[in-house]
């Protein structure tokens, strides 16, 4: 059940049965010479919708710009600052909690969002308790990273070994190929790819990773792989969501 394709009266009915909602969050950032800038949002959105169908959960519109400041030396990247993203999450949840939602399951497509999301959850819990909003003590948030699902990780290792890398990975590129086969990019990828550098600021990142990839070989990706990753993560995260909403 997609929130943006629902009416407010449908939401009202939904809330009588469930107080859970899935919030897809991605990023708009460079993914190497052949990866889509929207990769993280595309994956999070597609998988969230799959989980929503599987579990009958409400799915909110995708937060398609996240925390990607370290990628901003590459054109096309858009990032919120962490302090802004915290406010965005706080605003979203304040609205939704007032309406009756209490269980927030963020399906995340970007590692760089995790720290800020966790900070935002803490900030939001305290904010809601400060305002003494009804049910504020019941509010629970969880971030579920599809790319860290055990089954996904295992398949990526099997298919790509070390060439999975950690950014612009063949696994995430594969999912985008499965979702948008019309947008599969061809392009030269140097056989040498940087890896192993820590992440600091944007200028430093581009010096460390000149073409944007981090140890990955996205040329290995196929749409068929993408479907496999999609299926695995939908299955695993559906279970995760159901456990989450069931728990006290």
Site string for a second copy, 119-158 (x = CB under 8 A): xxxxx-xx-xxxxx---xxxxxxx----------------
Residues between 56 and 75 with contacts to a second copy, criterion CB under 8 A: 60-62, 64-65, 67, 69-70, 72, 74-75
Question: d(Cα 233, Cα 111) in Å, to the nearest integer?
Answer: 16
HSE of 102, CA atoms in CB hemisphere, 13 A: 19
What is the DSSP pairing of strand 140-145 with strand 103-108? parallel
CB-based contacts of 154: which residues, under 8 Å, 6+ apart? none
Token pair 């959960």 is at which residue? Answer: 57
Q: Which is nearer to a second copy, 86 or 159 (CB)?
A: 86
- Least Cβ distance, residue 242 to a second copy (angstroms): 15
Site string for a second copy, 1-40 (x = CB under 8 A): -xxxxxxxxxxx--x------------x-xxxxxxxxx--
Which span (49-57, 155-163, 198-206, 227-235) binds a second copy, by CB under 8 A? 198-206
Binding of a second copy by 247 (CB under 8 A) = yes
Which residues does residue 2 pair with via DSSP β-bridges, in sequence order? Answer: 59
For residue 148, the surrounding DSSP H or E stretch is: none
Taking alpha carbons only, the member of 246, 65, 99 closest to residue 238 is: 246
Which span (159-167, 197-205, 225-233, 234-242) binds a second copy, by CB under 8 A? 197-205
Binding of a second copy by 202 (CB under 8 A) = yes
SS3 at position 163 = helix
- Least Cβ distance, residue 158 to a second copy (angstroms): 27
- Least Cβ distance, residue 150 to a second copy (angstroms): 18
């Amino acid at each position: 059940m997609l929130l943006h394709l629902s009416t407010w009266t449908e939401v009202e009915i939904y809330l009588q049965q469930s107080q859970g909602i899935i919030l897809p969050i991605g990023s708009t950032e460079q993914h190497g010479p052949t990866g889509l800038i929207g990769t993280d949002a595309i994956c999070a959105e597609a998988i969230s919708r799959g989980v929503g169908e599987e579990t009958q959960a409400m799915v909110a519109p995708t937060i398609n710009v996240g925390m990607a400041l370290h990628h901003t030396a590459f054109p096309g990247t858009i990032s919120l600052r962490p302090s802004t993203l915290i406010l965005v999450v706080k605003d979203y949840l304040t609205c939704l909690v007032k309406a009756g939602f209490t269980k927030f399951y963020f399906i995340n497509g970007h590692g760089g969002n995790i720290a800020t999301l966790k900070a935002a959850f803490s900030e939001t819990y305290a904010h809601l308790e400060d305002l003494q909003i009804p049910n504020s003590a019941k509010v629970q948030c969880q971030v579920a990273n599809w790319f860290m699902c055990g089954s996904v990780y295992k398949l990526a290792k099997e298919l790509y070994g070390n060439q999975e890398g950690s950014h612009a990975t063949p696994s995430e590129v594969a999912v985008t190929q499965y979702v948008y086969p019309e947008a599969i990019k061809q392009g030269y990828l140097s056989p040498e790819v940087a890896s192993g550098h820590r992440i600091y600021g944007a200028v430093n990142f581009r010096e460390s990773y000149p073409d944007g990839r981090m140890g990955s070989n996205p040329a290995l990706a196929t749409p068929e792989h993408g479907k496999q990753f999609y299926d695995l993560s939908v299955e695993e995260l559906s279970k995760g969501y159901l456990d989450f909403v069931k728990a006290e």
